Chain A
């Protein structure tokens, strides 16, 4: 039985957040695999984002270690109802029109982080438990930083590249 993120304990929420970063890193790696044959530039962007997600995961793991030490927590992102921060290439015809680019790849990252930030921010509003509320607030701030990072990457891309 899947549970909502708001029903978890702070320790479980942090664990799930770490799993989400790892899952996203793997999704980006697979997008890189997908696009390698078609659009090597886009594939490179996805690989950069996978590495960044792993770094995000390491930071959250450090936060977890600081709070809970080595205490194990069994819950994963697969155990929650909500789909948080999943990066999705939504343009089903991107390869046909030869429109997949680094710009488009980084935009996928920006959208995912933006959705995650909005999701955690909404949980802050809805959650009564102070500890959990503080954690959601912190996660929203972390996602906001991630979003800013991907926005910067997006800005570095040559504006003449197709959107």
Chain B
């Protein structure tokens, strides 16, 4: 079972590495869309990154209530639960 902290670290790692987000931008209160990019295509790549890092496949509805990075961390945690 992955700890909450490990999940956050893994997500932050691929956001920095694959999405080229600056580390200082990774505040839990940050807007996810602003962080990864405003393009809807970026969400496709987010789905790919989540699948390759966590083995979980997200679909559009999963993002319905995701606004901040913290929401996104929570979503992955819930999916892994």
Answer yes or no: do A and B interact: no
Interface residues, chain B, with chain A CB atoms under 8 Å away: none
